[in-house]
Chain A
Amino acid sequence: MASPGTLTLVSTKDEDPASLPVVPARHPWRWVGVAFVLVLVAQFVHGLVTNPAWDWPTFARYFTAQSILTAVGTTVLLTVLGTALGFALGVVVAVLRMSRSPFLRAVGWTYIWAFRSIPLIVQLLFWFNISYLYQRLSLGVPFGPELVSFETIELISPMGAAVLGLALHQAAYAAEIVRSGVVSVDRGQLEAAAALGIPRLRQFRRIVLPQAMRSILPNAANEVISLFKGTSVVSVMAIGELFYQVQVIYGRNARVVALLMVATVWYIVLTTLLSIGQHYVERHFARGDRR
């Protein structure tokens, strides 16, 4: 007796069950969804092509203009330096934060607290204006004689101030990302390394970090991409990166939309390249996890 909701086996008296064809489940609503989205996309593309306000001829004229390419170069340089210095310092801060010494832990914690508390734009303006605070920087005995000294304004250029600000800001976030990766590594891994007498630095570099990278990478990629677009903040310091450059140009010719599209498309292109890079780096660190 088959009550509702229970399965009954088909009679196999005159049928070979192994020869029954399998019909995949059908999903008619997916096709409705696809049609709906296609219509929206078509409308958007139609608008892009037919609405003259997008001003594609101006876009085309500026997209590969020398001034824009130089600005893209500056944006990439800021991103690369900010990421490299930021993550290098971030690993150090993370190690301090996880140290067995309460003193070093406090130093790491304070760094992260301070640089996460100050808005990036405020910090950048501080570095940009550091020469108002300290006109000369010198090395010497604390409260005693100076050995060498520099004019602050010569030592820290606007570009230098921008890199410094981005890197210090990035380091605080990078430190927490690295730490999250390290605490995700199984304790047994450290015990095994300790039991083999592997020196501490090698334990970290060879055993912990490669495993931590699995969970560090997606977050780190987020940070790099967000830093890449965040470099546009540097425009407040009149540095000729991409966003500052398009502002200068549309200030002159009033083609605001076309020039914002120039910047937007460059940001999209470069972010896409970063995402592709992320895929390959992640695959590298997933070795040992595939059968």
Chain B
Amino acid sequence: MIEILGVHKSFGSLEVLRGVSLEVAAGEVVVVLGPSGSGKSTLLRTINHLEKVDRGFITIDGRLIGYRKRGGKLHELKEREILKQRKDIGFVFQNFNLFPHLTALENVAEAADLASARQFLDRVGLGDRAGSYPRQLSGGQQQRVAIARALATQPKVVLFDEPTSALDPELVGEVLDVLRDLARSGTTMVVVTHEIGFAREVADRIVFMDQGVIVEQGTPAEVLDNPAHDRTRAFLSKVL
């Protein structure tokens, strides 16, 4: 489904990703854990080409993202083609990034027709708030609208970049409920989060990243209860 191969990425002299390879199968829920600055958000953003990679490549269903292979070289795609590819990849931001001048329904309808936009709002339990502007919604409701919007292009995979980090503690649950529903319905998901409890319950696989590399990965039981690596143990001892 998703194949990430040898991805490197630097911001100036700072190398954020140092050769990351990862495969995600269809219907799988992968949770990425790691200390801040470990490169997990950057990795997520390279999957839908919001960040260009310096080396390595990413494919979804066998199709290269952001590039075309020709004559032994990777040629960068035109903006228009990249935009088309992104419809296959839903993205949910930490700060929601809803369009503040559009109602909840209009936000979702930017990515789909009105009738299906309504269905997606219903699916996150906000059918009755269709006419509300983002400012009139709580943080949790805003993130649920953002999830409905990300689903509206009917993507093959949905990426979540710390979807609950900007929320008040009492609002985290409603967003995690939506994620849980999605996971159960067979949506392919990659979730960057600090919610260890959620990871344990929902993830098929947990990937632990530190300093731009994947340190270890495995089932929640393996990684959380019996980590093989010192760095994983050190991180878990701080967050558990």
Contact = CB atoms under 8 A, between A and B. Distances in A.
B93 A191 contact: yes
B34 interface: no
A186 B48 CA distance: 20
Contact of A196 (B80, B110, B133, B135): B110
B80 A199 contact: yes
Interface in A11-54: none
Interface in A235-291: 285, 287-291
Contacts of A199: 80, 83
Interface centre among A191, A196, A199, A291 (most CB of B within 10 A): A196
Contacts, number: 73
Interface string B84-102: 1111011101010111111
A118 to B, nearest CB: 36
Given A195-B48, A195-B50, A287 B83 contact: no
B97 A211 contact: no
A61 interface: no
Contact of B79 (A195, A200, A287): A200
Contact of B50 (A191, A200, A291): A191
Contacts of A193: 99, 110
Given A191-B50, A194-B86, A199-B80, A210 B101 contact: yes
B101 A197 contact: no
A257 B85 CA distance: 69
Interface string B3-39: 0000000000000000000000000000000000000
The residue among A197, A207, A211, A289 with the most chain B CB atoms within 10 A of its own CB is A197
A192 B101 contact: no
A119 B102 CA distance: 41
A57 interface: no
Contacts of B110: 193, 196, 198, 206-207
Interface residues of B, number: 31
A279 B42 CA distance: 43
Nearest to B79: A200
B216 to A, nearest CB: 29
A196 B102 contact: no
A288 B83 contact: no
Given A194-B50, A288-B133, A207 B99 contact: yes
A191 B110 CA distance: 14
A288 B99 CA distance: 9
B86 A288 contact: no
Interface size class of A (residues with CB under 8 A): 20 to 34
Nearest to A209: B101
A211 B100 contact: yes
A197 B99 CA distance: 15
Nearest to A192: B97
Contacts of B79: 200
Interface in A185-225: 186, 188-189, 191-200, 206-207, 210-211
B93 A192 contact: yes
A186 B135 CA distance: 15
B139 to A, nearest CB: 15
A210 to B, nearest CB: 5
Contacts of A194: 50, 83, 86
B140 interface: no
Contacts of B150: 195-196
20 contacts: A189-B97, A195-B86, A195-B90, A195-B150, A196-B111, A197-B84, A197-B86, A197-B87, A197-B153, A198-B110, A198-B111, A199-B80, A207-B110, A211-B99, A287-B133, A288-B100, A288-B101, A288-B134, A289-B135, A290-B135
Given A191-B50, A197-B84, A285-B101, 15 more contacts: A188-B95, A189-B99, A191-B93, A192-B98, A192-B99, A193-B110, A194-B83, A196-B111, A198-B111, A207-B99, A211-B101, A288-B101, A288-B103, A288-B133, A291-B135
Interface of B: 48, 50, 79-80, 83-87, 89-91, 93, 95, 97-103, 110-111, 133-136, 149-150, 152-153
By Cβ-Cβ distance, the 8 closest A-B pairs, closest first, are: A192-B97, A288-B133, A195-B91, A188-B97, A197-B87, A197-B86, A197-B83, A288-B101
Interface of A: 186, 188-189, 191-200, 206-207, 210-211, 285, 287-291
